């Protein structure tokens, strides 16, 4: 992993806090380069869920996000390779199958029933858009329909309320698991 330097936002535009980004990438490099994982090391999930404060003239958001995507993929592939080296190909396939089957329970539900509705008065994700994404993910897993991990990673849903919405936390957790599976396969 090479040292990271990112372009900064110009003018009055905000970008990611350079100190936070630099610190995270330094820690990620140390975790990645360690021959065996240690408690507290970063992994693909930590990369996927990291957040940075926005500051004036910070690092360019899109450039850092793209680097985070590559880093997440590298950690996922490293975890796969370590599991295969330690326990064999069958162990990796078994783990992948276990995680993918946890997704299947949601994917086989009827449209409008994939996730819970949010609590009354709470904003959630538009049911039709989430159901559409679930159909595409299901086609990817069951029929081999082409879909990139970035299509899932970057999905944005309109917001809605009540019975026209799904609970955001449930959908986000599901999307995270889909990305985890896809990143370890590609």
Q: Using one digit for the tens of pLDDT, what is the confidence trace for 133-184?
A: 999 999 988 888 889 888 998 899 999 998 999 999 899 889 988 988 888 7
Owner of token pair 């999307």: 175
Task: Specify the pLDDT at position 4.
Answer: 57
Tell me: the pLDDT tens digits for 60-102? 999 999 899 899 889 988 988 888 888 888 888 887 777 777 7
- Answer yes or no: do 68 and 93 share one domain: no
Q: Same domain for 96 and 55?
A: no
Give tens-digit pLDDT for 20-49.
999 999 999 999 999 888 888 898 888 988
Confirm whether 98 is domain-assigned: yes
Whether 21 and 6 have beta carbons less than 8 Å apart is answered as yes
Judge if 131 and 98 occupy the same domain: yes
Residue 1 pLDDT more than 70? no
pLDDT at position 20: 96
| Whether 168 contacts 115, CB under 8 Å | no
pLDDT of residue 101: 77
- Indicate if 111 and 47 belong to the same structural domain: no
Quick one: 53 and 116 in the same domain? Answer: no
Beta strands per DSSP E along the chain: 14-16, 54-56, 123-126, 159-161, 165-166
Q: Indicate the average pLDDT of the chain.
A: 88
What is the pLDDT, as a whole number, of residue 170?
92
Q: What is the span of the domain harbouring residue 49?
A: 14-72
Instruction: Count the domains in the chain.
Output: 2
Say yes or no: 45 and 105 in one domain.
no
Residues 60 and 93 in one domain: no
């Amino acid at each position: 992993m090479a040292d990271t330097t990112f372009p900064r936002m110009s003018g009055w535009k905000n970008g990611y806090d350079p100190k936070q980004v630099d610190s995270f990438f330094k820690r990620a490099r140390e975790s990645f380069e360690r021959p065996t994982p240690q408690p507290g090391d970063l992994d693909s999930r930590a990369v996927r869920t990291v957040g940075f404060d926005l500051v004036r003239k910070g690092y360019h958001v899109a450039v850092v996000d793209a680097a985070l995507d590559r880093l997440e993929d590298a950690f996922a592939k490293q975890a796969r390779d370590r599991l295969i080296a330690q326990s064999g190909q069958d162990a990796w396939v078994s783990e992948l199958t276990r995680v993918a089957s946890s997704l299947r329970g949601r994917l086989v539900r009827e449209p409008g029933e994939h996730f819970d509705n949010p609590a009354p008065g709470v904003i959630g994700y538009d049911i039709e858009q989430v159901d559409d994404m679930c159909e595409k993910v299901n086609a990817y897993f069951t029929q081999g329909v082409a879909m990139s991990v970035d299509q899932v990673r970057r999905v944005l849903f309109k917001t809605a309320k009540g019975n026209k919405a799904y609970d955001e936390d449930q959908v986000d957790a599901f999307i995270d698991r889909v990305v985890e599976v896809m990143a370890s396969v590609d």
